[in-house]
Amino acid sequence: MFHAQIPFDRIPHQFKSGLLCRSSQSEKDGLKKADADPSVKAVMICGENGKFSAGADIRGFSSPKRHGVALSPIVSLIESSEKPVVAAIEGVALGGGLEVALGCHYRVAHAKARMGLPEVTIGLLPGAEGTQRLPRLIGVPAALDMITTGKHIPATEALKLGLVDEIVEENTIEAAIRLANKVIGQPLEPRRLSLKPVPKLPNMEAFLREALVKVKRQARGCLAPELCVQAVRAATERPFAEGVRRERELFGLLLSSGQAQALQYAFFAERAVRRWAAPGGASWSSAAPQPVRKAAVIGLGTMGRGIVTSLVKANIPVVALEQDLEYLNKGRKAVMLLLEREAMKMEGGAQTLDFHNPARLQFTVDFDLLCDVDLVIEAVFENMALKKEIFHKLSKICKPGALLCTNTSALNIDEIASATNRPQQVIGTHFFSPAHVMRLLEIIYGRHTSPTAIATAMQLAKALKKVGVVVGNCFGFVGNRMMFPYVQQAVFLLEEGSRPEAVDQVLEDFGFKIGPFRMSDLAGLDVGWRSRKEQGLTGPSLAAGTPARQRHGQRYSPLPDLLCEQGRFGQKTGKGWYQYERAGGRTATPDPWLHDFLSQYRDTHGIQSRFIDQEEILERCLFSLINEGFAILAEGIASGPEHLDVIYINGYGWPKHRGGPMFYASTVGLPRVLAKLQKYSEAHPDVPGLRPNAFLKKLVAVRSPPLKEWMSYLSHQSPKL
Q: Which residues are catalytic?
A: 99, 119
Q: What part of residues 239-268 is at the interface with ligand LNIPZVSO (CB under 6 A)?
A: 248, 251-252, 255, 268
By rule CB under 6 A, what count of residues binds ligand LNIPZVSO?
27
SS3 state of residue 133:
helix
67 binds ligand LNIPZVSO (CB under 6 A): no
Nearest to 487 by CA among 540, 437, 525, 439: 525
- The number of beta carbons lying within 10 Å of the beta carbon of residue 291 is 10
Nearest to 644 by CA among 618, 625, 672: 625
Q: What part of residues 266-295 is at the interface with ligand LNIPZVSO (CB under 6 A)?
A: 268, 271
Q: For the CB of residue 478, give the shortest distance to ligand LNIPZVSO in the complex, in Å.
A: 21
- The number of beta carbons lying within 10 Å of the beta carbon of residue 656 is 23
Contact with ligand LNIPZVSO (CB under 6 A) among 20, 78, 94, 320: 94
Contact with ligand LNIPZVSO (CB under 6 A) among 56, 75, 232, 491: 56
Contact with ligand LNIPZVSO (CB under 6 A) among 35, 48, 57, 414: 57
* Alpha carbon distance 13, 27 (integer Å): 9
* Alpha carbon distance 472, 470 (integer Å): 7
Nearest to 439 by CA among 151, 273, 647, 299: 647
Part of the chain binding ligand LNIPZVSO (CB under 6 A), chosen from 94-102, 346-354, 563-571, 579-587: 94-102
On whether the CB atoms of residues 198 and 207 are closer than 8 A, the answer is no
Contact with ligand LNIPZVSO (CB under 6 A) among 119, 591, 628, 635: 119
Q: For the CB of residue 282, give the shortest distance to ligand LNIPZVSO in the complex, in Å.
A: 20
Part of the chain binding ligand LNIPZVSO (CB under 6 A), chosen from 53-61, 156-164, 166-174, 300-308: 53-61
The partner residues of 579 in beta bridges, in order of sequence, read: 575, 589
Q: Which is nearer to ligand LNIPZVSO, 138 or 377 (CB)?
A: 138
Contact with ligand LNIPZVSO (CB under 6 A) among 7, 55, 468, 692: 55
Q: Which is nearer to ligand LNIPZVSO, 11 or 626 (CB)?
A: 11
Which ranges constitute the DSSP H helices of 197-301? 204-219, 224-237, 240-255, 259-272
Q: For the CB of residue 124, give the shortest distance to ligand LNIPZVSO in the complex, in Å.
A: 6
Part of the chain binding ligand LNIPZVSO (CB under 6 A), chosen from 93-101, 304-312, 400-408, 594-602: 93-101
Could you check whether the bond before residue 706 is cis, i.e. omega within 30 degrees of 0?
no
SS3 state of residue 416:
helix
Q: For the CB of residue 280, give the shortest distance to ligand LNIPZVSO in the complex, in Å.
A: 24
The partner residues of 106 in beta bridges, in order of sequence, read: 86
71 binds ligand LNIPZVSO (CB under 6 A): yes
417 binds ligand LNIPZVSO (CB under 6 A): no
Q: For the CB of residue 96, give the shortest distance to ligand LNIPZVSO in the complex, in Å.
A: 3
225 binds ligand LNIPZVSO (CB under 6 A): no
* Alpha carbon distance 42, 184 (integer Å): 7
Q: Provide DSSP, 440-500.
A: EEEEEE-TT--HHHHHHHHHHHHHTT-EEEEE--STTTTHHHHHHHHHHHHHHHHHHT--H
Part of the chain binding ligand LNIPZVSO (CB under 6 A), chosen from 30-38, 55-63, 323-331, 553-561: 55-63
Q: Amino acid letter at 290?
A: Q
Q: What part of residues 499-538 is at the interface with ligand LNIPZVSO (CB under 6 A)?
A: none
Q: Which is nearer to ligand LNIPZVSO, 332 or 466 (CB)?
A: 466
Contact with ligand LNIPZVSO (CB under 6 A) among 27, 79, 90, 99: 99
Give the H or E element holding residue 526.
Answer: helix 525-534
Contact with ligand LNIPZVSO (CB under 6 A) among 30, 47, 84, 96: 96
Nearest to 698 by CA among 682, 709, 685: 709
On whether the CB atoms of residues 618 and 506 are closer than 8 A, the answer is yes
Backbone phi and psi for residue 452, each to the nearest 5 degrees, phi listed first: -60, -40
Backbone phi and psi for residue 445, each to the nearest 5 degrees, phi listed first: -90, 145
Q: For the CB of residue 68, give the shortest distance to ligand LNIPZVSO in the complex, in Å.
A: 7
Q: In Å, how far from its chain's centre is CA 516? A: 19
Q: Amino acid letter at 268?
A: F
668 binds ligand LNIPZVSO (CB under 6 A): no
Contacts of 79 (CB under 8 A, 6+ apart): 85, 103, 104, 105, 192, 193, 194
128 binds ligand LNIPZVSO (CB under 6 A): yes
Nearest to 589 by CA among 598, 578, 597: 578
Contact with ligand LNIPZVSO (CB under 6 A) among 74, 86, 92, 426: 92
Q: Amino acid letter at 246?
A: R
SS3 state of residue 6:
strand
Contact with ligand LNIPZVSO (CB under 6 A) among 7, 30, 84, 95: 95
Contact with ligand LNIPZVSO (CB under 6 A) among 30, 126, 451, 558: 126
Per-position x/- string for 5-44, each x denoting binding to ligand LNIPZVSO as judged by CB under 6 A, each - no binding: ------x---------------------------------
* Alpha carbon distance 346, 344 (integer Å): 5
Nearest to 319 by CA among 338, 344, 291, 293: 293
- The number of beta carbons lying within 10 Å of the beta carbon of residue 545 is 5
Q: For the CB of residue 87, give the shortest distance to ligand LNIPZVSO in the complex, in Å.
A: 15
* Alpha carbon distance 321, 329 (integer Å): 11
Contact with ligand LNIPZVSO (CB under 6 A) among 47, 118, 306, 500: 118
Part of the chain binding ligand LNIPZVSO (CB under 6 A), chosen from 123-131, 582-590, 618-626, 710-718: 123-131
Footprint of ligand LNIPZVSO on this chain (CB under 6 A)? 11, 54-59, 69, 71, 92, 94-96, 99, 118-119, 122, 126-128, 130, 248, 251-252, 255, 268, 271
